[in-house]
Amino acid sequence: MIQIDALRKSYDGVNWAIDDISLRVKEGDFVILLGLSGSGKSTLLRCINRLVEPSSGSINFTGKNVTTASKAELRIIRREIGMIFQQFNLVKNLSVLTNVLCGRLGYHNPLSPFSKDDIELAYNNLERVGLEKHAKRQVKQLSGGQQQRVAIARALMQKPKLILADEPVASLDPATADSIMHYLGEINNRDGITIICSLHFLSLARKYGNRVYALKDGKGVYEGLPTDIDHKRFKEIYGQDAQEIDIN
């Protein structure tokens, strides 16, 4: 589904945020990006849908060259790639339903109204994340975990082939973090949607991911099964002073 070759990105023309990253992602994978803050996880994710412009290298998604796509072509590619952010990126003064409907904007003329089918789909996706009763509430009235579930429902509105989740649980308490990962795991298993998710916690990677790609200082330092990351590999990824925290 995704083929990344020799990808590099520099923000200042001197230092590499990601440096010579090559990665293959199969349809139906749940890939976890692991690494410290500043290791390049977010940059890699945002290069995949070109929210960040790569400096060099190539990205292919379902046979389409993302790196050379025109604005019109990129708009079509992005329809199939949902994005979930650490800080939710919701319009907090608007209702839950309106925020979820925004996931259909890539299929609409900005001036065209949402259809009855769009609204029905929005309610269905809210039901999937347990928030259908909150549809008319303002987002700002919800907890952080509830807001992230709104963001998941919004991503599902695109009917995506791929979801990119950029540290979706970093601002949540452990119990809520696990529940959010559970929803993503269900989407991956039930719908077959491919997911690439950046995380800090190895325990969540072991529980939900089928593959791990770890970064350190912008370079790939491990690719394989989460269960194969032993104490030695953990230290190589996070540093000798790091201590593993179990999130259940």
Hey, where are the domains in the chain?
Answer: 1-80+161-248, 88-159
Percent of the chain past pLDDT 90, that is, above it, reads 78
Burial class (CB in 10 A: 0-12, 13-18, 19+), 154: buried
Q: What's the pLDDT band for 87 if we cut at 50, 70, 90?
A: confident
- Of 108-112, 123-127, 133-137, 222-226, the one with minimum mean pLDDT is 108-112
CATH class of 1-80+161-248: alpha beta
Rounded distance between C-alpha atoms, residue 32 and residue 122, angstroms: 27
State mean pLDDT over 222-244. Answer: 79
Q: What is the pLDDT of residue 232?
A: 83
Q: What's the pLDDT band for 222 if we cut at 50, 70, 90?
A: very high
Q: What is the pLDDT of residue 240?
A: 55
pLDDT tens readout for residues 175-214: 999 999 999 999 999 999 999 999 988 889 999 999 999 9
Q: Which two tokens stand for residue 197?
A: 């998710």
Q: What is the pLDDT of residue 244?
A: 58
Q: In b/e form, how buried is each residue of 3-15, taking b as 16+ CB within 10 angstroms?
A: bbeebbbbeeeee
CB atoms under 10 Å from CB of 143, counted, come to 11
Rounded distance between C-alpha atoms, residue 36 and residue 14, angstroms: 21
Contacts with 102 (C-beta within 8 Å, 6 or more apart), sequence order:
91, 154, 157
Q: What is the pTM of this model?
A: 0.92
